[in-house]
Amino acid sequence: MSRGNRFGLARNIPAPTKRAVRQACGFGCVICGNPFIQYHHADLAFANAVEHDPRKITLLCGGCHDRVSRGTYSDEKVREHIAKPYCLTNGPAFTDLDFGSVAPNVRFAGTDIEDCVFPIRVEDYGLIMLEKPTDPNSPVQISAFFTNTRGEVSVAISQNNVLLMPQNWDATAEGTRLRIWDASRQPSLSLNLVPRQSIEIERIESTLLGWKFSGDAHSLRVTTPGAKGPNTFAGGRMSGPHVGFQFGAPRLR
Ligand SMILES: [Zn+2]
């Protein structure tokens, strides 16, 4: 247990304060946009801080935090980026994936989907697409997008480049997990991206083209456009198909 600094300030920053900092910074390092972040007391070093004021805390990735601590990034540069965070001026928080040349399994709705190009498709939209590399030394190309309950894109993956959209209410990246929050308590999307193994959709609350999806790794409730109640899917295994789950008929031929 941390004893805090000489003013009795605990090292642990309260969760609502951390969220306010993430929201103010657009969910990524203020200098480079990396979503794997640490909290940095910007005005005063933690040793001299008397409170966890979200306006005086900022987000830095491990690499940028190290440079700031060692002084290889000037105070002016840091101040400039705190005033204009990367994710609010240059583009969404981003990171990249390299799962090697073997396509990962996808776990969704209690189902393991193996060796599949489009594990999940809604009408013509591939929620996830896994393209085998033409060069055996290149990684499998992972593309995906997920929408929140309002139908807005929350996470987009374009050929291994992951973007966490700044319009989200909250977004976190920790370990192998990306989570999107539309409100506190429970994430609306939880993706566990385990390199060289699997993409697990641990939780989803989403609307797309009038379809509503609600579920976790074990089961999924799906409401088709215009229908009153949901159908529930649970359990199964799919191997080798071009398309795993297809919701609705593709419109384009
Ligand atoms: Zn950074």
The pLDDT of residue 2 is 54
Angle (CA) 27-31-36 rounded to 5° is: 45
Is 193 part of any domain? yes
Give the count of alpha carbons within 13 A of 24, CB side only. 18
Residues 76 and 118 reside in one and the same domain: no
**Strand, coil or helix: 232:** strand
The pLDDT of residue 45 is 63
d(CA 28, ligand 1 centre) in Å: 8
Residues 105 and 174 reside in one and the same domain: yes
Domain C-terminal end among 74, 91, 108: 91
Residues 69 and 137 reside in one and the same domain: no
Residues 85 and 207 reside in one and the same domain: no
**Which helix (H) or strand (E) covers residue 220, if one does?**
strand 219-223
pTM of the full structure: 0.89
Is 190 part of any domain? yes
Residues 241 and 150 reside in one and the same domain: yes
d(CA 14, ligand 1 centre) in Å: 23
Is 105 part of any domain? yes
Host domain of residue 117: 96-247
Angle (CA) 128-132-133 rounded to 5° is: 125
Ordered per-residue pLDDT tens for the chain, 253 residues:
456 777 677 778 899 999 999 999 999 999 999 999 999 987 656 666 767 778 889 999 999 999 998 999 988 898 999 999 999 999 999 999 999 988 999 999 999 999 899 999 999 999 999 998 888 889 999 999 999 999 999 999 999 999 999 999 999 999 999 999 998 889 999 999 999 899 999 999 999 999 999 999 899 999 999 888 888 877 667 777 789 899 888 876 5
Is 9 part of any domain? no
d(CA 34, ligand 1 centre) in Å: 5
Q: How many domains does the chain have?
A: 2
Residues 105 and 216 reside in one and the same domain: yes
d(CA 137, ligand 1 centre) in Å: 28
Is 169 part of any domain? yes
C-alpha to C-alpha distance for 158 and 96, rounded to whole angstroms: 9
Is 138 part of any domain? yes
Is 10 part of any domain? no
The pLDDT of residue 1 is 47
d(CA 71, ligand 1 centre) in Å: 14
d(CA 129, ligand 1 centre) in Å: 28
C-alpha to C-alpha distance for 63 and 31, rounded to whole angstroms: 10
Residues 71 and 105 reside in one and the same domain: no
Residues 79 and 179 reside in one and the same domain: no
The pLDDT of residue 237 is 74
C-alpha to C-alpha distance for 187 and 189, rounded to whole angstroms: 5
Residues 115 and 230 reside in one and the same domain: yes
Token pair of 15 as six digits: 């969760």
Domain C-terminal end among 72, 91, 110: 91
Domain C-terminal end among 91, 113, 130: 91
Residues 156 and 41 reside in one and the same domain: no
Residues 48 and 66 reside in one and the same domain: yes
Residues 169 and 235 reside in one and the same domain: yes
